[in-house]
Amino acid sequence: MTIYERAMEMIADGFRVGLGSGRAASAFVRLLGERLRAGRLRIQGVPTSEATAGLAREVGIPLVALADAGELDITVDGADEVDPRLDLIKGYGRALVREKIVAASSKRLVILVGEEKLVERLGSRGKLPVEVVPFALPLCQRRLMKLGMRPFAYEENGKLFRTDNGNHILDCGIAPIPDAAALDCDLNLIPGVVGTGLFIGMADEVLIGTGDDFRQVEERRRKL
């Protein structure tokens, strides 16, 4: 059983499901589409990005707007770092704000990762994405530097990248973070910061895949 198949066992008929972004989430979305086409399930999906919405339509998953869905039963997503407390860094795929909103709208957040994403302390991979409104870009860069970070505006094809929300991403070079919750509070106090890649206290379960095609699954649950 893969981590994607294990996550599928958590989906019940009639569920409203948050659909994450990135490689792991996309693999789950494709499997979910297969199950729907086989007539085994009826669900509604809420995508966390336009890319995920396009993939969901392609594989036959009916979508509903978050405004119409109400509280979601579950969200399945990936992560870029997972620490021993199941706190996360997300956002390398550039959808961090919508991912956080959909996760916060869900009764349960399940994260799918390979073992290479496990870290002893958040920030160990050296990057934290922060989404900022365009007007505030210079201010946010200065404030982030004062916090000891190294912010670089993410570009694609020589132009500043814009998220699905019309904002920019500052990829901040960081060292391992002593207190991720405190840093998240400090970052969110900067005018113009829309959201950070720090997901503190949000994941309920993490499915860790090892071996070929992640066919060995370790499950970790948040301690209450």
* Active site residues per annotation: 99
Please give the helix or strand (H or E) that residue 89 lies within, else none.
strand 88-89
Residue 137, amino acid:
L
Q: Which residues, including other chains, have CB under 8 Å from residue 45's CB and lie 6 or more apart? A: 16, 17, 18, 19, 29, 32, 56, 61, 62, 63, 64
Q: Where are the alpha helices (DSSP H) in 111-190?
A: 137-146, 180-188
Q: Which residues, including other chains, have CB under 8 Å from residue 8's CB and lie 6 or more apart? A: 28, 31, 32, 35
> What crossing angle do the helices spanning 50-59 and 23-37 adopt, rounded to 10°?
30
Cα(69)–Cα(147) distance, integer angstroms: 38
Give the residue among 82, 77, 88, 101 at the shortest CA–CA distance from 22. Answer: 77
| Cβ pair 140, 130 in contact under 8 A | yes
Cα(104)–Cα(21) distance, integer angstroms: 15
